[in-house]
Amino acid sequence: MMPADLIIRNAVAEDIHALRDVFLRASLVNEDGSDLMAAHPEWFVWDDAMLPFARVAVVGERVVGFASARPDDGFLELEDLFTDPDWMRQGVASALVADIARRGLRIEVSANPLALGFYESAGFVVVGVAGTEGGPVPRMCLDARPPAGSIRGEGRYSIDLTGPGSHTLVLERGVGSLSIGPSHLGKKADLHVAPDARIDWTVFDTFSTPAGSPWPRYLHYAGSDAGFFDWAQRRPIEEMTWTPLLPADMEVDASRSKLNGLHIQIEPYGGRLTLKLPKGLNHLSVSGDLSRFSATGDMPASLTIAPHTGRRRSDPPFLFPDLGELHQVPSLALQNAPLGQPISLACLSRFPNLVSLRLWGNFCDMNLLARHNRLTSLELRFMPELEDLPSLQAWASLDSFIAYNVEEAAGKRLRQEIKIRAKTRPWTGHASVSQLRKPEWWTTEFGRPFSSWSKRLAKLANEAYDLAQANLTQARSLAEAESIITAFAARFNTLKGIETTEREDLGEAVWQLSQSDHLIGRPIAEEMARRWFDSARQY
């Protein structure tokens, strides 16, 4: 029986010693003779050149087996398949073969005659004889390709997604992603389904990429059908992005699903999602309303969190809710808007195992980073506030440091600290500070709420904003200010593409305009500016 906690991953350079050890000891057991080793010692040394093609089976921290499958003219040549002698006959080799078979290509091997029975039990068939340095051996093949009727070409195909012939799927050259969601998403979804529709995910089994791997590689779905997790138990999904639209609370056991990356986007309404994570998940990303999501089970190798925060830099710091077992991850990325509500880094006290941290956007309580002295990697990107950042000396184990698009004063300090640290202990990873930004840059790039708009609409919005802001500098009464803001809001009544998100952005723009310079002699209250906006808009 295969160990319950076995994980299969790509081999890395740090595994080479363990791979050599498993190769040698397994070879001695399989070949059953030290005389052969004495005669041909080169046969018992693993070829390090196979590292890029190797997949390792790991239990805990121990490498218990590995396989190397090299692409060769449309099929995979199985060069290595070895199990630690202490772990033989426990399903490790079978798991490695199954892992390679998921790539959806024909697998060929020049089989050790002593392993002929194993290969036959795994589905391989003898197709000939191969000559090797040790003599002739059976040449065997496992056809793991999709069914002969699988679809790989461009075209329009009728599929039974929610019922017989319910949808037409359009395949285009070079497109490996598919988006499914409610009709209000418009062109953002390739296939429209009702939020509560039951989906037959197996309709995609017949589709593959030109190379023969499962298609789509990247799947985006907004709705309540969690059946894709059951589907992924036998059909791996490379990257899955799910926006749960739940009428009630939902618990999902995805522990047996095969996913490399999972992205959960939590809306601020509907039911709460409790998810038992897939084993061997490489990366988990959670965005939106964090209070409506919890995760259990095996933790991912890395975690990205992008909470829904306020738009304004002046708002009180955002405090993270309790994330439960997710606090155990070793690698964490936090994302926020550069000029939005700051996120307090006090939340990091709940992550005791952090060795890698990436921050993107606006944060406060930067001084608390000094408590995490086990960090080996730290990245700071698009950060306008670094005044309280500790010296790099606070992290004695830091091997890699990146600061990109950060405020100018702190950036200059960090450049000097990188040079000083390099003199006492060279950086083993990448270390750089680039794109230092002055205060006005942040306002120009991120100060207005139109950055996510299409170029056409953003251009029109910025022109209207510029005009309103210029007129407000001459306003001497609330009546004049009302006229200017009303004209700004009404400018968008005739434009197409103003949906909920754009309406919220325009409301934020009105607030910003109300706070800009004028000659009225007293502030324009936020509630007053909002009333002007609501009375003028028709969107």
pLDDT digits (tens, 9 = 90+) for 25-70: 998 876 555 566 666 677 788 989 999 899 999 999 899 999 999 8
Residue 365 phi/psi, 5-degree rounding, is 60, 40
pLDDT over 50 at 148, yes or no: no
- Report DSSP letters for 147-177, one per residue: PTT-B-SSEEEEE-SSSTT-EEEEE-TT--E
The 10s digit of each residue's pLDDT in 520-537 is 988 899 899 999 999 999
The structure's pTM equals 0.65
- Alpha carbons 99 and 55: distance in angstroms, whole number: 9
Region 476-490 average pLDDT: 94
- Confidence category of residue 353, pLDDT binned at 50, 70, 90: very high
> What burial class does residue 260 get, using C-beta atoms within 10 Å of its C-beta: 0-12 exposed, 13-18 middle, 19+ buried?
middle
The chain-wide mean pLDDT, for the chain, equals 91
The single-letter code of the amino acid at 512 is Q
**Residue 198: its pLDDT value, please?**
93
**Residue 149: its pLDDT value, please?**
39
pLDDT over 80 at 162, yes or no: yes
Percent of the chain with pLDDT over 70: 96
**Residue 213: its pLDDT value, please?**
84
Three-state secondary-structure class, residue 134: coil
192 contact partners, CB below 8 Å, separation of at least 6 = 180, 181, 182, 183, 185
pLDDT over 50 at 378, yes or no: yes
The 10s digit of each residue's pLDDT in 172-214 is 988 999 999 999 998 899 999 999 999 989 889 888 888 888 8
CB atoms within 10 A of CB 461: 23
Dihedral, 272, 276, 282, 284 alpha carbons, nearest 10? 10
Please write down the HEC assignment for all residues of 275-311. EEECCCCCEEEEEECHHHEEEEECCCCEEEEEECCCC
The 10s digit of each residue's pLDDT in 258-267 is 999 999 999 9
**Residue 33: its pLDDT value, please?**
55
